[in-house]
Amino acid sequence: MDNKTNAVKSEFRNALPQVLAVFVKNFLMLSFGMNIGFATILIGGLLRKSSNGFTGVTEDQISWIGSMSLLTIPIGSVLSGIITQPLGRKRSMQFITIPFVICWIGFYFSTKMWQLYLALALMGFFGGLVEAPFSAYVSEITEPHLRGVLITSGSIFAILGIFIQFMLGTFYNWRTCAIISCVFPSITFILFCFVPESPYWLLLNNKVEQAKQAFAWLRGWSTVEEIELEIQDIIKQHTKESVTRSQKIFSVEKVKPFLRKSFLWPFGIIAFAFVLSQFSGVPTLQTYAISIFATLNVPINTYYATSFLAATEVVGALVGGVLIHLIGKRKLLFVSLTGGCICNVLIATYAHVNNVKYILLVDENDSLNGLETLNWIPLALLISLSFIVYCGVFFLPWVIIGELYSYETRSVGCGISSAVSYLINFVSNKLYLKMASTITIFGVYLFYGSVCLLGIIIMYFLLPETEGKTLEEITSHFEGLSKLGNNVKRKRQASNYAHVNMSFKDDEVEIVSSKL
C-alpha cells in the first residue's frame, strides 16, 4: 500500500511542474484569446448609436475590422520560427507581452478608423510571432501521456480569453475593455520569470548545464544527478540536429527537410484540418456574433447571447479535452464533423423556412424592437454548433500541429501552419458578409455543412491516431519507416519523460522499412 501511495506521489510530483509551466504559457494564450475576441466587441460597439466618436461605419469597414488581425497573424506566423528560434521558446513568448500591452493602449486612444486598423494589424502580427513557440514549447516539455491534454489546454485558455472579452463587452464599452485587457499580458510577463526554457532548445544551442537544470526542474524538481543518464540520451539523439543548426540558416541543407515527405504529408493534413476548422461555421459566428444573433431575432440580449456562446465554447473545449484521451483524436474529429454538418444544415433550413436571407448590421436594440414572439430555435442551433465544433474540429488542428512534425521542422512548420490557419480564417471572415448577401444565409450554412461532410470522408483516409504515441513514433510514420494504427495507445511509459520522447522505442509500432 505504501509503495502504491509513493508511486502516486511520484507521478504527481513529475506531472506538477509540467502543468505549471504549461499554465504560464496558457496565460499568454488567454491574452491571445482576448485579442481575437476584441474584434467582436469592437464591431458591436461601433454599430451602437453611441460608438465613442465613430459614426457612419460601413459594411466594408466592419468586414475589415473582423478580419484585419487575421491578415497579419500569418505574416507573424511565417516569420515566427525564424525570429523566435534564436531567442528561445520561453523568452520569445515573454517578450511578446510587451507589444500586446502597447496595442491595447493604442486601442484606448484611437480616434480614427486607420488607428483601429493599425492596432488590429500589429496585434495580429505579434500574436503570430508566438505561434511557433506556443506549440513547440508544450510538445518539448511534456510526457507523452500528458501531451495531448496539456496541448489541448492551450486552446481552452484561448477560448476562455474570448469568453472573458465577451463578458467585459457585456458590461463595458470597447475602450474600457481595451484598457482592462492590458492587465493580462502584464501578469504573463512576470509569470514567465518562474518557469524554465525548453531543454531541447537549450541543448541544441550548446547550453548543456542550463538544459540539465531545466530538465531537473521539469522532472519533478529532481537533482541533476538523478536525471544525468536521461540527459545523456537526449544529447546523443540531438547531435545530428546540433550539427545541422551550425550551418547557415538559408543553406540548401537547411531547406531539404521541408521538401521531404516527412514534412509535406503532415503539412497537408494540418492545412486541410484548418480548412475544416475555419469553414465549420463557428469562426464567422464568433466574429459577427452580435449581428447574427440580431438578424435571427434571438430572444435575449445579443451581448448576453454572445457571452453564452463563448461559455459554451469553453465547455465544449473542456469536454473535448476529456474525450481526446478517452476515444482519441480520429473518432473525436469524426463526431465533431458529423455534429457540425447536422447543425449547419438545420440552421440553413431554419433561415430558408423563415425567409431570413441577409445579415443585418444592427445592434441588439434595433433587432429586438417590436419583437412579439420568442424564438429559441436559432439560438439553440447556433449554441449547439459552437459546442460540437469546439469539442473537436476547431481545436484539434492546434493539438496535432505540435505532434506531426519532426523536431528539425517543428518550429518553422508550426509557424507556417499557423499562418495558413489564419490566412484561411481571414478569407472566411472577409467573405462572410459578401457570401451572405450573394447566396443568402441558407447558402452559406449549407456550404459549411458540405465542408464538414467532405472532411469526414477525406480525414478518414489521411489522419492516423496519434493519441498516446511518442513523437518518435509519429515522425517514423510520416517518414514511411513505420505505421501507426488507429487505436489509442493507453500504455504508460513510466521511464519515458518528455525529453526522451524521441529516443523511445515501442513494440506496438511495426517497422516496415529501414529507409525512405
Spell out the domain ranges in the chain. Answer: 11-195+247-474
pLDDT tens-digit profile, the chain (516 residues) = 555 555 555 677 778 888 899 999 999 999 999 998 999 889 888 887 655 667 777 888 888 998 888 888 888 877 877 777 788 888 889 999 999 999 999 999 998 899 999 999 999 999 888 877 877 788 788 877 777 678 778 878 888 999 899 999 888 889 999 999 999 999 999 999 998 888 888 887 878 788 888 888 887 766 766 677 767 766 666 665 555 555 544 456 677 777 778 788 889 999 999 999 999 999 999 888 888 988 888 888 888 888 899 899 889 988 988 888 888 888 999 999 999 999 999 999 999 998 888 888 765 544 444 444 557 899 999 999 999 999 999 888 888 887 888 777 877 787 788 778 888 988 998 899 899 999 999 999 999 999 999 999 999 988 888 777 777 777 777 776 666 666 666 544 444 444 444 333 333 333 233 333
CA 94, CA 448: separation in Å to the nearest integer? 37
Residue 514, judged by CB atoms within 10 A of its CB (0-12, 13-18, 19+), counts as exposed
**CA 145, CA 11: separation in Å to the nearest integer?**
11
Judge contact between 316 and 324, C-beta under 8 A.
no
Other CB atoms within 10 Å distance of the CB of residue 8: 10
Q: How far apart are CA 390 and CA 156, in angstroms?
A: 9
What is the homologous superfamily of the domain 11-195+247-474 according to CATH? MFS general substrate transporter like domains (1.20.1250.20)
What's the rounded Cα separation, in Å, for the pair 447 and 345?
9
- What is the pLDDT at residue 368? 47
Q: Which residue is associated with the grid cell 513529475?
A: 14
CA-based angle 185:191:197, to the nearest 5? 110
Phi first, then psi, for residue 511 (nearest 5°) are -80, 120
Counting DSSP H helices and E strands in the chain, the numbers are 22, 2
Separation of alpha carbons 388 and 277, rounded Å: 12
3-state secondary structure (DSSP) of residue 283: helix
| Distance (Å, whole) CA 299 – CA 120 | 32
Write down the residue that cell numbers 476547431 correspond to.
394
**First vs last Cα of the chain: how many Å apart?**
49
The pTM score is: 0.75
Q: How far is 197 from 212, CA to CA, in rounded Å?
A: 11
Specify burial of residue 202 (Cβ count, 10 A radius: 0-12, 13-18, 19+).
Answer: buried
Beta bridge partners of 482: 511
